[in-house]
Amino acid sequence: MFIIKYKKIFIAISISLVVISIVILSTVGLTFGIDFRGGALTEVYYENVRPEILQIQENIDGLSLGVALVQPTGENGFIIKTRSLSDLERQAVLKSLSQRDSIAVEKSFSSIGPSVGNELTRKAVTALILVVLVIICFIAYAFRKVGEQVSSWKYGLIAVGALLHDVILASGVFSILGYFFGAEVDSLFVVAILTVLGLSVSDTIVVFDRIRENLALNKDKKISFSDTVGQSLGQVYTRSINTSLTVIVVLLALFFLGPESTRYFAFMMTAGMFFGTYSSIFLASPLLVVWENYSSRKKAKLLVK
Amino acid sequence: MWKKRISALIVLVVGFGIGYFVYISEVGIVPETGAKSTITEKYGFKLGLDLSGGSHLIYRADVSALSGGDIKESMTSLRDVIERRVNIFGVSEPVVQVESGGFANAGEERLIVDLPGVTNIDKAIAMIGQTPLLEFRTESPGTVEDIQNAALDENGNISVNIADRYENTELTGRYLKRADLQFDPNTQMPIIGLQFDDEGAKLFEKITGENIGKTVAIFLDGAPLSTPVVQEAISGGQAVITGRFTPVEARTLVGRLNSGALPVPIELISTQTIGATLGADAINAGIYAGLVGVIAIALFFILWYRLPGIIAVLSLSVYVITMLALFKIIPVTLTAPGIAGFIISIGVAVDANVLIFERLKEEMKKGLSISEAIKSGFSHAWDSIRDSSTSTILTAIILFWFGTSLIKGFALTLGLGVLISLISAIVVSKVFLFSLGIKDSKLTRFLFSSGISK
């Protein structure tokens, strides 16, 4: 199996991608949306002529709401980002957006108080930790009977390592998306991350499941661990690619044709699914072999001594 | 063999039955009137605020002055008060719920108000935040004639909009000193006694004096409570409201009037408004994306997996229809992320089929006959299917717990989808595959192969 043969190359590719992502994340970073920071987002459109953006910016600044950002959206709309607004302030904003001959119509308005934002952050972090914990426990449980060559917690750790890889790469992609298109981290971003975790681990589990089965079958034959892994990969990679492909196809449909509000979400998930499939075939299993080779070499050394 | 064919037929018929239900509960109308039929009314898709358009308000309740036991009680009565006010506002299917303080929301007591269809929230916010508004109104000029001229409609009802017939006076609940619950000595019906303060008493005397022989209407939060006829000018500032109250209603009302305000002060901390057009666009885009996704998957399946692929598309259709029916029956409130979750679950749903078919192919390569390979394929694939679905379902459960209403929608449709897809792959695909009764031949072996192999 070429994947096992060239395992070091694939592991190196993954590591360098992760390093690049981390560099991007620490320089460009992620922009957090009002879901997390608190703040207000007012979207308006004009039936006839959209006023000059400078004029609007001036009007809004005149309200002294602190830093206010006016962005054009679509052909005849604006998005105004401010700190969270009371009802009176919101009406003042709406009023200042309208000119004599072009009246602003409110398309959507969200104002999120800081405490609600903090709450979301807390919940997101808790959910992330919980998902990872549950996944480790679940894998340890599902693989409790395969401790003969590789102990089951190694499977769990490697699966989680592959997950981290997926999440870091997907976040890196999102960071680039934020840099060029202004995508912001909102609650759907968290949902995408958690769902990618769930789907990607199920991919890894299918691969490991096959390794578990072949280990049992090959027990009495003289087949090395790495050959068994290679054999298993050969059996499952069509399936892995096909199922990810179907999910990616629907996600692309969602990205290109779906609602505006889930667009970045669909993109993020597509990236996550892609890396998830990649990692379960090209990263998790090679890592398993490398780790096993390392341990058995150590064991052999001990025996020689 | 016939047994298997009959069970396949039953699955098909049930599938069509569910499909018919989904169809009829979307488009069903009463032929005579053209109105929505009962089934459409009852089982139509429930749309979340982001799709139907509307407002989502979060209030923080200040319960710092209350002790533990009272908090729950005042939050409940706060909810009731606000629910009543929202109802008076004429919103269809408003949702008012209390979110109790706990780990997740920094210990704040919150009230969440969902107002579907309300995109102009100024009025709603004003109404929710108000103290109960008690008003005394006098007849507008011309009212009597209007009422006399009001025509009977075909059902024999006179339709008169009472609120339009009266105009405001200066006298409101602001001049109220005290309200109490009394019982009418003659009828034993509960009535509400009002005692005005000095200024209110003067106003009341003036109003009653000017309107002898006419009605004076008592309005609460913009809705008429009673419209007594004035017999004489009333001094001393005492009045009674005789409505058709139950004792409980009357007691609640007295409580509200006396407290003069909400049981606890509230502060608006978060507002979200989604315009109706934005919502409609989102629905259309969601349906469109879903359709294209399903068709793409179906094509891929038929081209790649051939005969089993067609079976998988059949079982996928049963899956989609069952999910839609469940959305209606449970009912699941659909949001944009919820639709996304459902569309993703379609992609995941085929996972089980792929696992089975890939396995089937391997077993055939080992030299098994097709029917043996089908059996062995199903039983071997089950372990992987179970394990891989479990992790997605566990994630969905955590998301559901974590979620705001939008995320809950996603978690619910995804989790439910993976669960139902298990059943559809194991039961439906299996029943169909077995019912074909395939015998080995060159042609059938070709039909059961996949990909670019022969």
Instruction: Please provide residue B225's backbone torsions phi and psi, each rounded to the nearest 5 degrees.
Output: -95, -50
Residue B199 resides in a domain: yes
Check residue A236 and give its pLDDT.
83
pLDDT digits (tens, 9 = 90+) for B278-329: 778 888 888 888 889 889 989 988 888 888 888 888 888 888 999 999 988 8
Give yes or no: residues B233 and B249 share one domain: yes
CA distance A200 to chain B (A): 9
Burial class of residue A127 in the structure, from the number of CB atoms within 10 Å of its CB (0-12 exposed, 13-18 middle, 19+ buried): buried
8 A C-beta contact, residue B217 and residue B227: yes
| CATH 1.20.1640.10 domain range(s) in chain A | 2-33+115-304
- Which of the four pLDDT bands, split at 50, 70 and 90, describes residue B277? confident
Closest partner CB to A106 (pick from B275, B290, B388):
B275
Residue B358, chain A, CB below 8 Å: the answer is: yes
Q: Identify the CATH number of the domain defined by range A39-112.
A: 3.30.70.3400
B268 vs A contacts (CB less than 8 Å): 86-87
- The whole-number average pLDDT for the span B176-204 is 81
Residue B81 CA to residue B35 CA, distance in Å, equals 33
- The whole-number average pLDDT for the span B217-246 is 76
Q: Which of B398, B401, B419 to mutate to test the interface with A (most CBs of A within 10 A)?
A: B398
| DSSP three-state, residue B266 | strand
Check residue A64 and give its pLDDT.
79
Give yes or no: residues B35 and B179 share one domain: no
Give yes or no: residues B284 and B328 share one domain: yes
CA distance B377 to chain A (A): 13
Reading the block at residue B420, the tokens are 């139902």
- Which of the four pLDDT bands, split at 50, 70 and 90, describes residue A26? very high
Residue B49 resides in a domain: no
Interchain pair A203, B58: CB under 8 A: no
Give yes or no: residues B179 and B58 share one domain: no
- The whole-number average pLDDT for the span A215-223 is 81
Q: Which of A199, A214, A256 to mutate to test the interface with B (most CBs of B within 10 A)?
A: A199
Interchain pair B285, A142: CB under 8 A: no
> Which residues share a beta bridge with B176?
B196
* CA separation, residue A297 to residues A147, A151, A294 (Å): 18, 16, 5
Give yes or no: residues B168 and B77 share one domain: no
Q: Which of B100, B112, B267, B270 to mutate to test the interface with A (most CBs of A within 10 A)?
A: B270
Query: Which residues are CB-contacts of A228 (< 8 A; sequence separation ≥ 6)?
Result: A211, A214, A215, A218
Q: Identify the CATH number of the domain defined by range A2-33+115-304.
A: 1.20.1640.10
Give yes or no: residues B250 and B301 share one domain: no
Instruction: Please provide residue A255's backbone torsions phi and psi, each rounded to the nearest 5 degrees.
Output: -70, -45
Helical residues (DSSP H) of chain A, grouped into ranges = 2-5, 7-27, 34-37, 53-61, 87-97, 114-142, 152-181, 187-217, 225-257, 263-278, 285-304
| DSSP three-state, residue A185 | strand
- Which of the four pLDDT bands, split at 50, 70 and 90, describes residue B129? low
Interchain pair A262, B340: CB under 8 A: yes
Residue B268, chain A, CB below 8 Å: the answer is: yes
Residue B157 resides in a domain: no
Of chain B, the percentage scoring pLDDT greater than 90 comes to: 2
Q: State how beta strands B46-47 and B333-334 pair.
A: parallel
Inform me whether the pLDDT recorded for A23 exceeds 90: yes
Which range in A79-88, A171-180, B126-135 is most confidently predicted, on average pLDDT?
A: A171-180
Check residue B93 and give its pLDDT.
75
Task: Return the residue of A nearest to B287 by Cα.
Answer: A258
* CA separation, residue B368 to residues B106, B379, B426, B430, B445 (Å): 62, 14, 21, 18, 11
Contact residues, B window 195-254, toward A, CB-based 8 Å cutoff: none
Reading the block at residue B441, the tokens are 């031949």
pLDDT digits (tens, 9 = 90+) for A153-166: 788 888 888 988 99
Closest partner CB to A197 (pick from B283, B297, B395):
B395
B386 vs A contacts (CB less than 8 Å): none
Check residue B260 and give its pLDDT.
47
User: How many domains is chain B partitioned into structurally?
Assistant: 3
Residue with tokens 């409505």: B243
Instruction: Please provide residue B226's backbone torsions phi and psi, each rounded to the nearest 5 degrees.
Output: -155, 160
Residue B379, chain A, CB below 8 Å: the answer is: no
Inform me whether the pLDDT recorded for B150 exceeds 70: no
Interchain pair A110, B451: CB under 8 A: no
Check residue B249 and give its pLDDT.
73
Inform me whether the pLDDT recorded for A20 exceeds 90: yes
Give yes or no: residues B179 and B327 share one domain: no
Task: Return the residue of A nearest to B300 by Cα.
Answer: A246
Interchain pair A119, B106: CB under 8 A: yes
Q: Which of B122, B291, B376, B391 to mutate to test the interface with A (most CBs of A within 10 A)?
A: B391
Check residue B454 and give its pLDDT.
44
8 A C-beta contact, residue A140 and residue B400: no
Reading the block at residue A297, the tokens are 């070499």
A195 vs B contacts (CB less than 8 Å): 344, 395, 399, 410, 414
Interchain pair A206, B388: CB under 8 A: yes
- Which of the four pLDDT bands, split at 50, 70 and 90, describes residue B450? low
Task: Return the residue of B nearest to A236 by Cα.
Answer: B358
Task: Return the residue of A nearest to B451 by Cα.
Answer: A238
Which of B8, B19, B6 has its CA nearest to residue B319? Answer: B19
B274 vs A contacts (CB less than 8 Å): 108
> Which residues share a beta bridge with B224?
B219
A232 vs B contacts (CB less than 8 Å): none
- Which of the four pLDDT bands, split at 50, 70 and 90, describes residue A17? very high
Interchain pair B292, A112: CB under 8 A: no
8 A C-beta contact, residue A105 and residue A44: yes
Interchain pair B451, A238: CB under 8 A: yes
Check residue B58 and give its pLDDT.
86
Reading the block at residue A116, the tokens are 């609600």
- Which of the four pLDDT bands, split at 50, 70 and 90, describes residue A168? very high
> Which residues share a beta bridge with B115?
B55
Give yes or no: residues B121 and B221 share one domain: no
Closest partner CB to B384 (pick from A124, A138, A206):
A206
Number of CB pairs < 8 Å for A and B? 225
Inform me whether the pLDDT recorded for B390 exceeds 80: yes
Residue B226 CA to residue B217 CA, distance in Å, equals 6
Residue B209 CA to residue B235 CA, distance in Å, equals 9
Cα end-to-end span (Å), chain A: 34
Closest partner CB to A259 (pick from B104, B282, B293):
B282
Residue A190 CA to residue A184 CA, distance in Å, equals 11
A258 vs B contacts (CB less than 8 Å): 285-286, 288-289, 339-340, 343
Inform me whether the pLDDT recorded for B265 exceeds 80: no
A116 vs B contacts (CB less than 8 Å): 58, 105, 269-270
Alpha-carbon Rg for chain B, nearest whole angstrom, is 32
CA distance A163 to chain B (A): 13
B105 vs A contacts (CB less than 8 Å): 115-116, 119
CATH number, domain with residue B89: 3.30.70.3400
Give yes or no: residues B282 and B356 share one domain: yes
CA distance A128 to chain B (A): 9
8 A C-beta contact, residue B332 and residue B26: no
Residue B158 resides in a domain: no
pTM (predicted TM-score): 0.73
- Mean pLDDT check: name the lowest of A201-215, B66-80, B114-128, B150-164: B150-164
Cis? peptide before A259, omega within 30° of 0 = no
Residue B149 resides in a domain: no
Q: Which of B288, B395, B399, B401 to mutate to test the interface with A (most CBs of A within 10 A)?
A: B395
Query: For all residues of chain A together, what is the average pLDDT?
Result: 84
Residue B124, chain A, CB below 8 Å: the answer is: no
Q: State how beta strands A69-73 and A104-112 pair.
A: unpaired
> Which residues share a beta bridge with B268?
B59
A234 vs B contacts (CB less than 8 Å): none
- The whole-number average pLDDT for the span A1-6 is 81
Contact residues, B window 83-112, toward A, CB-based 8 Å cutoff: 104-106, 108
A130 vs B contacts (CB less than 8 Å): 398
Inform me whether the pLDDT recorded for B366 exceeds 70: yes
Give yes or no: residues B252 and B288 share one domain: no
What's the per-residue H, E or C state across B50-105? HHHCEEEEEEEECCCCCCHHHHHHHHHHHHHHHHHHHHHCCCCCCEEEEECCCCCC
Domain that holds residue B93: 54-131+265-273
- Which of the four pLDDT bands, split at 50, 70 and 90, describes residue A106? confident
8 A C-beta contact, residue B432 and residue B311: yes
Interchain pair B391, A84: CB under 8 A: no
pLDDT digits (tens, 9 = 90+) for B19-61: 888 888 877 667 676 666 777 777 878 888 878 888 888 888 8
Give yes or no: residues B269 and B281 share one domain: no
DSSP state of B158: B
CATH number, domain with residue B249: 3.30.1360.200
- Which of the four pLDDT bands, split at 50, 70 and 90, describes residue A283? very high
Check residue B221 and give its pLDDT.
64
8 A C-beta contact, residue A191 and residue A261: no
- Mean pLDDT check: name the lowest of A132-146, B151-165, B243-257: B151-165
Reading the block at residue A173, the tokens are 């992609």
Of the candidates B234, B259, B284, which is a domain's last residue? B259
Residue with tokens 């998005």: A79
Inform me whether the pLDDT recorded for B146 exceeds 60: no
Query: For all residues of chain B together, what is the average pLDDT?
Result: 77
CA distance B330 to chain A (A): 23
Inform me whether the pLDDT recorded for A16 exceeds 90: yes
A91 vs B contacts (CB less than 8 Å): 122
